[in-house]
Amino acid sequence: MLVLAGPAAAQTTMPGEAKFGDANIAVELHTEGQPAEGKEWLLALHFTPKGPEWHGYWSNPGDAGAGMRLTLDLPPDWEVGEARYPVPEQLLISGLMNHVYQGPYTVLVPVTPGPSVKGFAGTLKAHVEYLACTDQICVPQDALLEAKPGGDFARWRAGVAPLLDARATFAISGKTLRVAIPLPEGMALGKPHVFVANEKLVAHAAPQVFRRKGDVLIAEIPLDEYGSGKAEAVSGILAFGDKDAGGFAFKAALGDVPAGGEVVSDPKQTPVAPWWTLVFGALVGGLLLNIMPCVFPILSLKAIALARAGESEAKARSEGLAYTAGVVLACIGLGALLLALRAAGEQVGWAFQLQQPGVVVALLVLAAAITANFAGLFELPSFSVSMGGEKAGAFATGLLAAFVATPCTGPFMAAALGAALLLPVPQALALFGLLGFGLALPFLLLGFVPPLRKMLPKPGAWMDRFRRLMAIPMALTALALLWLTVQLGGRGFGIVALVLAFGVLLGLFVVGKLQRGGKMAWPAFALVAAPFLAFALIALPNVYEAKGAEAKASLLASEPFSRDALAQARASGKPVFLYFTADWCVTCKVNEATSIERESTKAAFEKAGVKVLVGDWTVRDEAITTFLTEQGAAGVPLYLWYAPGSDKPEQLPQVLTPDLLAQKASAGG
């Protein structure tokens, strides 16, 4: 007796009778010709659903379902090969991806007879177990079969996915499986999708990225967050769209997978808006960042620069251009780094810089230094936060403004940034540049439109007092960064960062005293600050505590986001509110204070039975990044509302009104 469960074969015993029958999906067993020793003898299992609502499963059923299990009554010296399947279809139900066959389908099983074929009686018996499902129910099926000679083997052969002659290679990079499949460069792809036969290896519902490099197609597939993340070999089927578009079976060995390549878009999974709407979204989104709450920490820098712009027309123009160049260059640089990291298999999003504890510590020290400069503790003539007003200072201010202002996505820009992660590199970088241009546009207009400059107060002694006053919001920014440092790395990490900031401020205090005395200042700064820097470099890695995924205290009965938690919440038949936030996202915190953490929202949610899930993106989380990408979002905040029974969520505005969630709950309940 031989059993076939997917590609594996082992000894077993034939059952005496079928337990469940095949009433929902009938099955027949056919043989092609007569068996001969050492030659492939082909068997065919032909499945026929009783109605269009029933479907069967591929060898790897996906997130749900079960594959076929076949037991053959054969002599022990006969060998059973791997089953050959048609190209399956994707069926997404409540967030779970199923690999199914809708309508009749045939699975071919190759058998190689041994010497005992000479005594073979000619009658083959088998027992097959499988699952028959609709969108609502699943029923186990089985059948005891006696093979029928003959059948439409020519059509059945044409229906299975042929195996590629060339060997594919695969590599696991970070949280991504990368597969290089040999395929002629001129071959049309349609809407490609890779069905991976290895179970518990990849996230079946996650979007797949395809790149072409010569005669190689490179598929990038996120790994299953609950899987082992390891494989000795990978096999599967490359599909070109629906079941009628065809595809190829492949086997991949561990090896080199080419980097780069031209991205192949898939409009079915990742729709991209028309180009003009993306341009508009990036430009207007950048412009609106100037009034978004997440930009408030740099308003002090802008206020002083705006006041100084009225000193002379030539100076205003040159500073406007320098500031614009700094902002645009910073946005393009951040975008290029983001695209490079994603191309290398890293799951990162638009705010990746503030998910790094070291970067936040550096920003904390920088904010403390700017506060000291504003307060008059020291002077830095080449930097625009001082009163020198040089072009280099305006350029540096633009770099800093873009770096600090861009983590939160605002209205209009969300779709543009989400599309930028899918478009070819030149178009993506153009969108990042337009975002920066929109952010810098107010300064640029002030530099080139004299009537706007005339609306500003005339330069005078008040500017020095105003600069000192602006030390207050910058000091608050430094305190916020200190709080974020603690959130990212723990209290010990925050204390060491505070010691470092104190050392820098102490050095700047010495610099200021020497400057006021007309003496050389900056060597003294190096002597004072160096011991604190050395201490921080040694201590910070040792006291760092990785942030956990625990749910934060909330008025709402929420739980941390995961795909399983989302599937269970949606299966409850109640409305589901899923939102993604981060401690460094000021827009997120404003929305939480004004619209989410409210007694009226809590009461409405309890009445409607709303399930609440929270994705905390303060530190890097590949599962959250992958999910955001699936929704066409490059960053946070993101608010999704799942109505009971709906297949797709409704994406709520990024700036919530106080009563919006309560109204959604009342309507959904």
SS (H, E, C) 502-528: HHHHHHHHHHHHHHHCCCCCHHHHHHH
Angle formed by the axes of helices 471-489 and 357-374, nearest 10°: 160
CA-nearest of 2, 128, 160, 178 to 77 is: 2
Of 636, 632, 594, 598, the residue nearest 614 (C-alpha): 636
How far is residue 437 from each of residues 285, 288, 313, 320, 396, measured CA to CA in Å?
A: 10, 11, 21, 11, 16
Q: How many CB atoms lie within 10 A of CB 278?
A: 25
Q: 374 in helix, strand or coil?
A: helix
Report how far residue 510's alpha carbon sits from residue 529's, in angstroms, rounded to the nearest whole number: 10
Report pLDDT for 380: 61
3-state secondary structure of 393: helix
| DSSP bridge pairs for 3 | 10, 71
State residue 459's pLDDT score. 65
> Residue 355 CA to chain centroid, in angstroms?
14
Domain with CATH 3.40.30.10 in the chain: 558-668
What tokens does 179 get?
């597969």
d(CA 52, CA 103) in angstroms, rounded, equals 6
pLDDT for the residue numbered 452: 78
Q: State the span(s) of the chain assigned CATH 2.60.40.1250.
A: 2-159
Q: Sign of dihedral through CA atoms 642, 644, 648, 653? A: negative
Q: For domain 168-264, give the CATH number.
A: 2.60.40
Report the number of secondary-structure helices (H) and strands (E) in the chain: 18, 26
**Could you count the other beta carbons within 10 Å of the beta carbon of residue 97?**
18
Residues 6+ apart with CB under 8 A from 578: 561, 566, 612, 613, 614, 615, 639, 640, 641, 642, 649
Q: At what angle do helices 413-420 and 425-448 cross, to 10 degrees?
A: 140
Closest CA to 586 of 295, 345, 361: 295
- Identify whether the C-beta of residue 116 lies closer than 8 Å to the C-beta of residue 75: yes
pTM for this prediction: 0.55
Q: Determine the Cα–Cα distance for residues 301 and 290; give it in Å rounded to an integer.
A: 12
The CATH fold assigned to 558-668 is: Glutaredoxin (3.40.30)
> Six-digit token pair at 236?
């599967």
298, HSE (Cβ side, Cα atoms, 13 Å): 26
Residue 49's SS3 state is: strand
Q: Which residues of the chain are modeled with pLDDT < 70?
A: 1-13, 243, 265-273, 291-311, 342-352, 380-390, 404, 406-416, 418-422, 456-460, 547-552, 668-669
Element (H, E) at 318: helix 313-343
First to last CA, the chain: 56
Question: Distance (Å, rounded) from C-alpha 245 to C-alpha 521?
Answer: 72
CATH superfamily of this structure's domain 2-159 = Thiol:disulfide interchange protein DsbD, N-terminal domain (2.60.40.1250)
